[in-house]
Structure 1
Amino acid sequence: MSVAAGTLVVHEHTALPSLGGRMTVTRKPRTALRAGVVVAALAAGVLAAPTAALAVEPGHTQGAGEVMRSKNAVLKLQDDGNLVLEHVSGGVLWASGTYGNPGATLAFQQDGNLVVYKKDGGEGKGGAVWSTGTWGNPGSRLDLQSDGNLVLYRQDGSPAWNTATWMTGTTLYAGWQLGAGNWTWADNAILAMEQTGKLTIRDREVPGIRFDTNTWGPGAYARLQADGNFVIYKKDGGEGKGGALWSTGTWNQPGARLVFERNGDLVLYKKEVEEVLWRSGTGR
């Protein structure tokens, strides 16, 4: 990794940081959360201890290659100029969309703005193709947290921007959804709503895909509807608006719940009973 200035440092936190304040990417309503999920993940080794968030300080500049890595995610600038955040299992959680710019560089500027510049561009020279829009925040830091969320913090510790790629709970109820880049875990598998618009189940320890909806639509999200149908919608779609890319076909089942079981099987259960309405068949 070529670094013109700045260093990689480890900052100590006493808890997983709260993501209050202004963000350019916001949490969709009622994402899948459950009490104790972080504690359980720590016990299972999915998350690193919350005292280890890897951070890049202002002044860091580099070309293509790995930028930073945490327990569950890796940030890299690809040869084509796209800045990509991947789960370590292989799924793409977030991307800047700046492909088609070979020779691009990534700069975390002293003013707190994270910028992708095309070849021969740079601070003071122009050529920016993407940025977090967080200028005016000197003394900021960029953290890749162990839950997979990339967060740009101001000097006072408040978040200025994030990728919204955090880990969620393992159960969805009616009206709950997995936003683009959200993911969860089983003992031996990872379920992710990937940035490209497909829902995947991948092996945790070795490369391998168990389930793939083969859908495409950057920013798409998955939602368990009130009628019991689990649907992937394109970014601007939704119930009553259309834009469905895939579904389990389980409508007319109000009260159904979706569970990512510990064995890696994704199962949709009928209301208040263990009757299976649909399953991915990926349990091992």
Structure 2
Amino acid sequence: MNRIIQRVVKAIALTLAMLGLAVLGTAVTALPAAATTVPDVFVGATKVGGDTLQMNQTLYGGQYIQSNSGQFALLMQGDGNLVEYGPESNGWGGPRAVWSSGTWGQSGNRVVMQGDGNLVIYKPNNSAAWSSRTYNSGAVFLRLQDDGRIVLQRSDGLVAWQTGTWAHLASAYPFGSYQLRSGQQLNANQYLANDRYRLFLQADTNLILYGPGFHILWQSGNHAFNPGRICGGASNVRMVVNSQGSLELRAVYNPQATDSSGRVVCLSAIDQVWFSTPAAGAGSFAPLQTDGNFVLYTSGGSPVWATGTNGRV
């Protein structure tokens, strides 16, 4: 009986992992709202190459490829399931399972982009657990596209197979660097990027640090001040390294208040949301590091503030 119960519990846990669900917690940050921890499906996983799986290339358990945008990841899970993770439909939450092969519960599986054009998941005994059924289709590689689709593409550019998992996300565009320096400005819907991580400034003033597969590692939570606290929305949203050497989130908005008669009134516009302390002084800079930490440094290279996300995925 105990063995049966253990198997049921394991099956439930594996299903939750496939769906990208886990218990939520918090992480300490210097911003007003604590970061939210997210499912640990990428903990210990290894990124392989870029956004493609080339002919005769294999993904083993715990390996993944990632879209160029960093918003999607295709992970060969240790439980035998091939799962694509991406953002929630609102464009910033996640990760959630966008697509899966449905082969969970078969530990030791691997997926191969075969030379015959077929994408196949093999069990440890080399029998096929799943395939795209594209044998002799002319497909030469798999690509995880920025629109969320997994595509098997032929050499002539035609698509032999796809998942049909288009994403409907708010527009986002790269800042063009992994760091913000004194005098530079990160605008709304823009992001800093390195090989694995993205630091994205939403139009609602929330600053979010993403790991693989749109995995939220940390967020400022500033979007919470909008509903019922300001008149209308925020405009001219941006983040700068100001003249004192602090990271500063700025937006023009009118705070909302209640007067002595109980009426809601709109106060004069202000142009600040949050700034980091202590200041780092002139010449400071803030890189999004390859270890996942976003750090503000003095001109001499001494850290004064950080998100505390180093080593997290």
Relative to the length of structure 1, the TM-score reads 0.41
Q: Which one has a larger percent helix, Structure 1 or Structure 2? A: 2
TM-score by length of 2: 0.37
